Structure 1
Amino acid sequence: MQPSLRIGPPPQEGEEESRLLLRFASPRDPQTVAAWVSFNVIDTERQDWARGWAKLKAFTGRTGHARVPYEHKEGAYPLGQWVAEQRRTYGAGQLSGLRARRLEQLGMVWSLADERFQENLAAARVYYDEHWTLCAPRSATALDRPLGQWLSNLRRPGALAEHPDWEEALRAVDPDWNPPWPTDWQRHYAAVRELLREEDRPELLPGVTCHGMDVGKWLHKQRRPAVWQALAAGQRERLEQLGIAPFPPEPQAPATHRKGGAGAFERGLAALAQYRARTGSLTVPRAHVERLDDGTEVKLGVWLTNTKTRRAQLSTDRRQALADLGLDWAAH
């Protein structure tokens, strides 16, 4: 008699055991019946795993990767949580080699750091949906996670150098998650942007608040000529896209170039705004000289020191202009 040949795919893990039991043992044998039930009815874990694998296969076929967001569901199936569980099982050395290979064929990445990132990214999406920005304060939380501190850590220079895919994922949620200007500015801007998208656009006067921020007062400050001039080009561009323009400059007395004359303060203020826009700092070396666009040279370090010394003699308007640029000592 010729040996029998198998037709079709080889048996899956566990299938051969149940088939052999049914073939060679008496169907009336209680032990056989118990084993059959164990392999084919009670062992739902195997069926659940196969279902998760099939859902992951569908996901990777559609997206081209296996980076499943923690909160993602395929239909009603919590695929993101299932993938996170496979990573934990693998890290504990409890995932079989066969299952690990099957997942790797779908592009599974086993890094626990990636797993934690995906879980934090899920919290970031929740925060963005509510606040319209990822420039969260350090104290911010979402899904019981310290989201603000996590984002602050990732903004540190070089923090994402080895994880360009993480930065790509964050930019997919919020392109301005790590702006080249203060995150506090970005938070206020995001609130203004969303409020102005409403059909009944509110008039954002000082006193109008959103998420605990006085966005009306903030916007009024940005429109002051000295502050507007000190903004980075990208900041002005974003405000202009919302239809926001600076206030017209207030009439000024004719300038004179006599030492200490009426134009000295204005030239110093313009030089300070130019210096801040270029360097992002208000700390000016005493010997620094700033050249204005018209070629005028201003001894900015000396001017700033002298202006601070004479603060009590400045008019309210001049102190306010200095405070608008960010000099805290001018506002008190």
Structure 2
Amino acid sequence: MSVTAQCPRPESRALRENHPVMGADWGPFNVIDTAKQDWARGWAALKKFTEREAHARVPYEHKEGAYPLGQWVAEQRRAYGAGQLAGLRARRLEKLGMVWSLADERFQKNLEAAKAYYDQHWTLCAPRTETALDKPVRQWLSNLRRPGALDDHPEWKTAPEAVDKDWNPSWPADWQRHYAALRERVRDEDGPADVLPGFTVHGMDSCRS
């Protein structure tokens, strides 16, 4: 008795793909890149978030609908820091405003506040509790002045000095504030200037040292 092998008919393909047993055998020929789909889903959720919130700083616990977007964003930062995320995906996230380092972002925001304070007061030796742009400028600068505070961020070291070369003086900050006030008071004078005691700038007697 002879057995004749028969080729499966084309019309049986749908049956094989939908059959719970036959589908398992057919699987290798019908691969879906689920990792790629998951990334695209995360990107779409982040795009929706940024269009609504106008930034990409997603809290870790935030969900966009049922999607754990905060966890997904944190994983993208981890992969980027490990050198596992680059090229097109990184560029697509950056176009949405992705911030790879939250510490860098906080530093830049505080630096902008420090610049705003300097524009008004001509010094970064701010008095206690002083703020600018709703940021605690004095406390932030005080933290930066602590020994070793900038050792882990060498790229930050020159930023305050670019705003005020005497931002971290070895002399009393109170003296520096009065000096800055007096310096700006006589900046436009052609010759020696007479500044009498009692002349105040920003509430300070510019002649008191």
Q: Give the TM bin, normalised by the shorter chain.
A: 0.5 to 0.7
Matches within 5 A, 1:262-273: none
Q: Which residue identity does 1:205 align to in structure 2?
A: L
The answer for the alignment partner of 2:90 in structure 1 is 101
TM-score, normalised by the number of residues in structure 1: 0.37
| Structure 1, unaligned runs of 5 or more | 1-12, 14-44, 50-80, 219-332
Matches within 5 A, 1:158-307: 158-199=148-189, 203-218=194-209
The 1-side partners of 2:89 and 2:137 are apart by 31
- Per-residue CA deviation, residues 112-164 of structure 1 (Å, 9 max, x unaligned), is 11111111111101100000111101211111111111111111111111112
The 2-side partners of 1:184 and 1:93 are apart by 46
Task: Name the count of aligned residue pairs.
Answer: 142
The 2-side partners of 1:211 and 1:99 are apart by 51
The answer for the alignment partner of 2:9 in structure 1 is none
**Pair 1:100–1:145, CA change in 2 (3 A):** farther
Q: Which residue identity does 2:118 align to in structure 1?
A: Y
Matched, 1:89 2:67: no
With CA pairs under 8 Å and 6+ residues apart, which has the higher RCO, 1 or 2? Answer: 2
Matched, 1:145 2:135: yes
| Contact 1:133-1:177 within 8 A present in 2 as well | yes
- Per-residue CA deviation, residues 200-221 of structure 1 (Å, 9 max, x unaligned), is 7752111111111111233xxx
Q: CA deviation at 1:105?
A: 8.4
Q: CA deviation at 1:170?
A: 1.1
Q: Among 92, 105, 112, which residue is 2:102 paired with?
A: 112
TM-score, normalised by the number of residues in structure 2: 0.56
**Pair 1:99–1:211, CA change in 2 (3 A):** farther
Cα RMSD, aligned residues only:
3.6
